[in-house]
Every structure is written in C-alpha cells, then in structure tokens.
Amino acid sequence: MNWYEKLNQYFPIEEMKSKEHMETLLKEKSSIYHKDEGKYHVLMYAEFDQFIFIDYLYVSGEARGQGLGHQLLEKLKQKEKPIILEVEPINYKDSDTEKRLRFYKREGFEHASKIGYERRSLATNEVNTMEILYWSPGHENEEAIFEGMKKAYKLIHTYKDIDFYGESYEPVEEVLSFDQKHETGDLLKDI
C-alpha cells in the first residue's frame, strides 16, 4: 500500500486532499511541504520560518503503542518551533478521536480554545468543525497560533484548489475565527 492509500484509509474523506494536490505540494512547494514515510508511518507537514504545520500524521495499527508517533513528533520538536495541527473533536462513537487527543496531550500539545475552525468539505459539501492543537517551546500565545493557522490554510489547504477540485475552498476569513473574549478552557484537560 502506498503512502496516499494509507492516509486515505485512515482519515475521513472530508479531511483528505486529493493525491494530485499533495503530490503538487511536494513538488511545487518542496521548500516547505515535506513527506516523512516509513513502513509503519506517513507524516505530511509544512515547515515555515516561524512554525510547523502537521497536515497528516498516520501510524499503522501494528506500530501503535510502540513510541513511533512520539519519535516523529520529537524530531519536529527539535526544530524549536511551534507545531500546529488540526484534529476532529471528540466523537464518543469513535474511540480513535479520544485516543488521538490523549496522545497529543501526553506529547504536550494544548487546545487552542480561542480559535474556531469550520470548513466546508469539497468532497462531501458538509461543514466540518475541527479543533486546533499546538505545541509551543516559547509559549506563544493563541494569536500567534491563529496567524500560523491562517498561513497554513492559505498556502497548503487552498493551494491550486480550483485546479484539483473544480471549485475553491472558502476564504480563510470565513473558515477561521478568533474569539478575544473566550475563557481559556482546555479540551485536553478531561482526557
């Protein structure tokens, strides 16, 4: 099974980019968009000057619980930049969502409670809510994380979207929001 098939079997259709989109990012944005692939994992990420955005992190069921996910994140953490990623909110009918959040909490990630993220899937036409998690060696505030997420959305998610999907994703202003007044709560606290 190739790297794209692994991702496509694991991630919901509404979260997946097309293979052509990802291959184009790897080719045309090779200075920032990277693939780290092994027998039991696929890590797709964008490295910017100020932060890293994890697009996809997949560890096969055979290798889970053996520290591979931890090793992959440690490699990124050694770059000493904030790391930002998107996850599905907890779905109690899908235990993987809770396990995923528990894993990221153990790895020191925090929930960006002031950042709202709702995007319409071009594959299903449904609106999906996602949570933003981040790890920050310099304890960056959520405004910095928000700015990073906006940059990742514009440069990665919507890159040549019309070419690949025949239509555009919504503009970043309609997808991401920042709530100045939101009380800091932690989605990961109870996990």
Looking up residue 108, the CATH number of its domain turns out to be: 3.40.630.30
In a domain, residue 85? The reply is yes
In a domain, residue 89? The reply is yes
Please tell me which residue, 92 or 161, carries the higher pLDDT value.
161
Count the helix, strand and coil residues of the chain and give each as a percent rounded to the nearest 5: 35, 25, 40
Read off the pLDDT of each residue in 30-52 and give the average, rounded to a whole number. 97
In a domain, residue 183? The reply is no
- pLDDT tens digit string along 68-85? 999 999 999 999 999 999
Please tell me which residue, 135 or 64, carries the higher pLDDT value.
135
In a domain, residue 186? The reply is no
In a domain, residue 8? The reply is yes
Between CA 7 and CA 58 the distance in angstroms is 7
The total of structural domains in the chain comes to: 1
In a domain, residue 83? The reply is yes
What's residue 182's pLDDT?
Answer: 53
Q: Domain of 145?
A: 3-178
What's residue 188's pLDDT?
Answer: 52
Q: For residue 156, what are the contacts with CB-CB under 8 A and spacing of at least 6? A: 25, 29, 33, 46, 53, 55
